[in-house]
Copies of this chain bind each other. A is one copy, B any other.
Amino acid sequence: MLQTEGLNVAVVGVTGAVGTRMLQMLESSPLPVKSLLPLASARSAGKKVNFGGKEWTIEEAKPESFDKIDIALFSAGGSVSKKLAPEAASRGAVVVDNTSAFRMDPEVPLVVPEVNEKALNAHHGIIANPNCSTIQMVAALEPIRQAYGLKRIIVSTYQAVSGSGAKAIMELETQTRAVLDDQPVETAIMPVKGDKKHYQMAFNAIPQIDLFQPNDYTFEEMKMINETKKIMDDQTLQVSATCVRVPVAISHGESVYIEIGKEGVSSTDIKALLKDAPGVVLQDDPANQIYPMPADAAGKKEVFVGRIRRDPDVANGFHLWIVSDNLLKGAAWNSVEIAERLVALGLVTY
């Protein structure tokens, strides 16, 4: 598994829900990894992780950690990235950052390889991994945009609690047992750990993901709006979003409505495009009740698309139902895929 000639890879936030999956994705990747540097907060330093048949000791992430690193995958929260990603880049590492810290920075490419791999060429040491809910949507829509143009997106999300981390999954389980057993429900994390109020997630739907912005959209909704325009490199694209948390542990669902740039296109045409699209799996056979579901997508790297059909009243309007594992394509896998492309394009050498 480990190569004698290859990359020195650091994973920052290696103990988290995404960090552990970054290791899994790295292990199953053809990337030539020579050494792993697992980094986390001081609290986790000294613990061990297994990777490539070897045990590695977690160290506290510090600026000098990155001295001999080729690729650093960050998923330890925005404040850690803001502090350490520029340090890593200045030491010669190429950073793939899974937080929102640098996503809208015009100097930082925001990349979903299936959509805008070419943007990697302009990097200055930091590449941003988009928000989970954005990634799966643009990966599914890009083939349609290429073929017919895309004028408008209206999306409503059905997002899993693992987007708030491993502790949020535990809270959902604890609350669910409490409701079933008619016991008091304790609320501490959802919808947003750092916000003032917390609500029951079990058997509920909460229309708040991340903090509210001055325009009454949540930050999650604004991420979908702004990141989509940046990734698709089209500021005229109309995008609007409603983000809702549902009592699902892993995998986001999205009800996506689009208006394309051409009339006379059928849902059959769109299905044909998505059948052959990279990273996308078409699951669309209503007669046999085949459509994507979070329970099926969890643990898989692909983006699953189904329920494709035309708006009966709008000639260029179509619905899609898009599901993907928010921790994999939405985070860990997209980051590792970016690393793979960096090497393939010769942007990281060893």
Q: Mark A207-250, 1 if CB is under 8 A from B, else 0.
A: 11000100111000000010000000000001110101011110
Given contacts A216-B286, A257-B154, A311-B238, contact A207 B244 (CB under 8 A): no
Of the stretches A102-110, A198-206, A273-281, the one at the interface is A198-206
Q: Who on chain B is nearest to A161 by CB?
A: B203
Residues of B within 8 A of A67 (CB): none
Residues of B within 8 A of A317 (CB): 240
Do B313 and A207 touch (CB < 8 A)?
no
Residues of B within 8 A of A288 (CB): 196-197
Dominant secondary structure at the A interface: mixed
Q: How many copies does the complex hold?
A: 2
The CA-CA distance from A118 to B244 in the complex, in Å, is 36
Q: Who on chain B is nearest to A253 by CB?
A: B205
Do A242 and B199 touch (CB < 8 A)?
no
Do A291 and B207 touch (CB < 8 A)?
yes
The contact of A293 among B199, B225, B249, B306, by CB within 8 Å, is: B199
Q: Who on chain B is nearest to A153 by CB?
A: B313
Q: Who on chain B is nearest to A222 by CB?
A: B312
Interface-central residue, A195, A199, A317, A319, by most chain B CB under 10 Å = A319
Given contacts A154-B257, A177-B180, A294-B205, contact A312 B242 (CB under 8 A): no
The CA-CA distance from A311 to B306 in the complex, in Å, is 26
The CA-CA distance from A239 to B205 in the complex, in Å, is 24
The CA-CA distance from A195 to B286 in the complex, in Å, is 11
Tell me, yes or no, whether A21 is within 8 Å of chain B by CB. Answer: no
The contact of A244 among B203, B217, B242, B255, by CB within 8 Å, is: B255
Tell me, yes or no, whether A158 is within 8 Å of chain B by CB. Answer: yes
Tell me, yes or no, whether A176 is within 8 Å of chain B by CB. Answer: yes
Give the contacts of A245-273 with B (CB-CB under 8 A): 246-249, 253, 255, 257, 267
Q: Who on chain B is nearest to A309 by CB?
A: B216
Do B203 and A267 touch (CB < 8 A)?
no
Given contacts A215-B309, A255-B242, contact A204 B319 (CB under 8 A): no
